[in-house]
Amino acid sequence: GRLVVVLSHHNSWTMDNGGDDHFDPGPRTDGGALLALLGRHPNVVLWANGHSHEHQIHVHPGRRPGAGLWEVNTASAIDFGQQGRTFELLDNGDGTLSIVVTVLDHAGPPAVRHRADGRWTPRQLAGLSRELAANDNRWIDPMGLLGGPEDRNVELVVADPRSAG
């Protein structure tokens, strides 16, 4: 079988809108129902998502020891620190997989000299964007969105569903 990675905007804890919508009638699926569906498919090993604009990682255990899926929520590129992520799936050769998650920063400097002539280099624009993102008007501590060390550069281990016997 193949390994499956699911990507979505919403995460399991924000999929909670069960209200009726006459523009989009029909049943709604909440986060718990989606997790139950994904849990019935042991080849789903990773669910990467966003929406809450915060680095967070949660494990959802499977039916057998070590099995399950990892849910990795990623901060927004528009909020401070404007970080992205890479995901690498590695076969450890021992019946487990490692999902290596790495947070990346862009190369924009933390402070830039403001230009009146509009001749910004891409790197200067990236730095200005970072500076503006740090000045969030919602009174949110921008450092809080970065999560803890356990939510950033990590190795997540899960049983390899291809080796289940």
Backbone angles phi, psi at 148, to 5 degrees: -90, 175
Alpha helices in the chain (DSSP H): 31-39, 122-134
Pairwise CA distance, residues 123 & 105, whole Å: 12
Confidence of residue 7 (pLDDT cuts 50, 70, 90): very high
Amino acid residing at 62? G
Q: For residue 144, is pLDDT > 80? A: no
Domain regions of the chain by residue span: 4-163
Our CA dihedral for 144, 145, 149, 153, rounded to 10 degrees, sits at -160
Residues 6+ apart with CB under 8 A from 20: none
pLDDT tens digits, one per residue of 38-89:
999 999 999 999 888 889 999 999 888 888 999 999 988 777 778 889 999 9
d(CA 44, CA 160): 10
Q: 45 is written with which tokens?
A: 């090993």
Percent of the chain with pLDDT over 90: 53
Pair 53, 79: CB distance under 8 Å: yes
